[in-house]
C-alpha cells in the first residue's frame, strides 16, 4: 500500500515539475499523428487510384507504358517504406538530405521532417488499403455508373471512392492509433513528442517507473479517445438503419421528399394528431417492408465485413 502512495507522490512530483512539458508532448504527439494520418491518407488515395486506372488492350501504347511505370514506382515505394523500420527511415531522411546535398539542403524544422517521415510511412500502408478498398466494390456498380454515361473519374468520385473510404475507415483508424504510439520513435531526430518528455524527465529525476506510468496512462487515454471518436464517425457515416417512409402521395409532401441532404422529417410542421397517425401508418408499412426485405434479399450484407485481406499494420512495425 505504501508503495502505491509512494508512486502517487512521485507522480505528483513529476507532474509538478514537468506537467506542462507532458501536456505539450501530448499535444505534439496528437498533432503529428493527426496531420500525418491525414496526409498519409491523401498519399494512399492517390496511389490507390493511380494503381486502379483501368488499362484495356486497345488503349494507346504510351498510356499503357506510363501506367505500367506508375505501378512499378508505387510498388517500390510501398515495399521500401513498409519493409523498413520507421525509426531508421527518420534517420535516413533527416540526415540523408544534408549529407547528399553537402549541407546545401537540410530540414530547418524537425516538425517538417517528422511529418514527412510519418506521412510517407502511413501512405505506404494506405496505398494497399485503398487499392483493396477500390477493388472490393463489386464491378456491377461500375457498370451501372458507366451505363448512365458517367466517365471513369465521375464513377470513381460519385460511386466507388465514397464506398471504398467507408470500407477502409477502420484501417484509417488503425493507422491513426498506430501513429499516436509510433511517433514516439521521432525522439531520434529530437522531435519532442510525448515519449521524449519521459526521456527528459527521467534524465533529471531518475523516476523511471512513475514517469513510465504517466506515459502508459497518457498513451492509453489518447488511443481510447481516438477509438471512441472513430466508432462514432463510422456510425454517423452509416446513417440510420431505418428510413422514413414518405407517404404514397409523395409529391404532395415536398418537405419530406426534397429536403435531402438536410434529412428533416417529412412530418415537420404538421399538427401532432396527424403526425401520430402518420407515424403509425409508417410503422405498419415499415413492418410489411421488412418482411419483404427478409424474403427478397440475401446479398448486400457482404459490405458490412468489408475488405480485410490487406493493410493490417498491427504489430508489423
Footprint on this chain of other proteins (rule: CB under 8 A): 56, 58, 140-141, 143-151, 154, 158-159, 162-163, 166, 239, 242-248, 250-251, 256-258, 260, 263, 285, 289, 292-293, 295-297, 300-301, 303
Q: Note if the bond before 261 is cis, omega within 30 degrees.
A: yes
DSSP 175-234: HHHHHHHHGGGGGGGT---HHHHHHHHHHHH--HHHHHHHHHHHHHHHHHHHHHHHHHHH
Question: Smallest distance from the beta carbon of 247 to other proteins, in angstroms?
Answer: 6
Question: Smallest distance from the beta carbon of 309 to other proteins, in angstroms?
Answer: 20
Q: Which three cell numbers stand for residue 107?
A: 530540414
Distance CA 180, CA 176 (A): 6
> Which residues touch 174 (CB under 8 Å, ≥6 apart)?
312, 313, 314
Question: Smallest distance from the beta carbon of 157 to other proteins, in angstroms?
Answer: 9
Closest CB to other proteins among 101 and 242? 242
Closest CB to other proteins among 122 and 142? 142
Closest CB to other proteins among 143 and 268? 143
Question: Smallest distance from the beta carbon of 243 to other proteins, in angstroms?
Answer: 5
Question: Smallest distance from the beta carbon of 53 to other proteins, in angstroms?
Answer: 16
Closest CB to other proteins among 19 and 144? 144
Closest CB to other proteins among 93 and 246? 246
Give the 3-state secondary structure of residue 98: helix
Closest CB to other proteins among 2 and 262? 262
Distance CA 278, CA 102 (A): 77
List Cβ<8 Å contacts ≥24 apart for 157-161: 160/134, 161/45, 161/49, 161/134
Distance CA 87, CA 317 (A): 10
Question: Smallest distance from the beta carbon of 153 to other proteins, in angstroms?
Answer: 10
CB–CB of 170/223 below 8 Å? Answer: no
Amino acid at each position: 500500500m505504501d508503495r502505491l502512495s509512494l508512486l502517487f507522490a512521485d507522480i505528483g512530483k513529476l507532474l509538478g515539475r514537468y506537467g506542462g512539458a507532458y501536456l505539450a508532448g501530448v499535444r505534439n504527439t496528437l498533432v503529428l499523428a493527426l496531420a500525418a494520418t491525414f496526409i498519409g491518407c491523401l498519399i494512399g488515395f492517390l496511389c490507390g487510384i493511380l494503381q486502379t486506372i483501368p488499362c484495356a488492350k486497345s488503349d494507346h501504347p504510351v498510356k499503357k507504358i506510363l501506367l505500367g511505370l506508375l505501378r512499378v514506382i508505387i510498388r517500390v515505394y510501398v515495399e521500401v517504406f513498409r519493409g523498413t523500420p520507421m525509426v531508421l527511415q527518420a534517420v535516413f531522411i533527416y540526415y540523408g538530405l544534408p549529407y547528399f546535398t553537402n549541407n546545401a539542403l537540410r530540414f530547418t524544422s524537425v516538425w517538417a521532417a517528422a511529418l514527412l517521415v510519418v506521412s510517407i510511412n502511413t501512405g505506404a500502408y494506405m496505398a494497399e488499403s485503398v487499392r483493396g478498398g477500390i477493388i472490393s466494390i463489386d464491378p456491377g456498380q461500375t457498370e451501372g455508373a458507366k451505363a448512365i454515361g458517367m466517365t471513369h473519374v465521375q464513377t470513381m468520385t460519385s460511386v466507388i471512392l465514397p464506398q471504398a473510404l467507408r470500407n477502409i475507415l477502420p484501417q484509417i483508424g488503425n493507422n491513426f492509433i498506430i501513429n499516436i504510439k509510433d511517433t514516439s520513435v521521432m525522439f531520434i531526430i529530437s522531435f519532442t513528442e510525448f515519449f521524449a518528455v519521459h526521456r527528459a524527465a527521467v534524465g533529471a529525476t531518475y523516476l523511471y517507473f512513475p514517469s513510465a506510468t504517466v506515459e502508459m496512462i497518457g498513451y492509453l487515454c489518447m488511443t481510447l479517445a481516438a477509438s471512441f471518436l472513430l466508432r462514432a464517425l463510422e456510425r454517423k457515416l452509416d446513417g440510420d438503419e431505418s428510413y422514413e417512409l414518405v407517404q404514397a402521395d409523395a409529391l404532395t409532401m415536398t418537405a419530406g421528399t426534397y429536403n435531402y441532404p438536410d434529412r428533416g422529417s417529412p412530418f415537420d410542421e404538421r399538427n401532432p394528431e396527424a403526425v401520430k397517425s402518420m407515424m403509425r401508418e409508417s410503422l405498419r408499412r415499415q413492418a410489411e417492408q421488412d418482411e419483404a426485405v427478409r424474403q427478397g434479399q440475401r446479398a448486400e450484407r457482404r459490405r458490412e465485413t468489408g475488405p480485410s485481406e490487406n493493410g493490417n499494420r498491427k504489430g508489423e512495425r
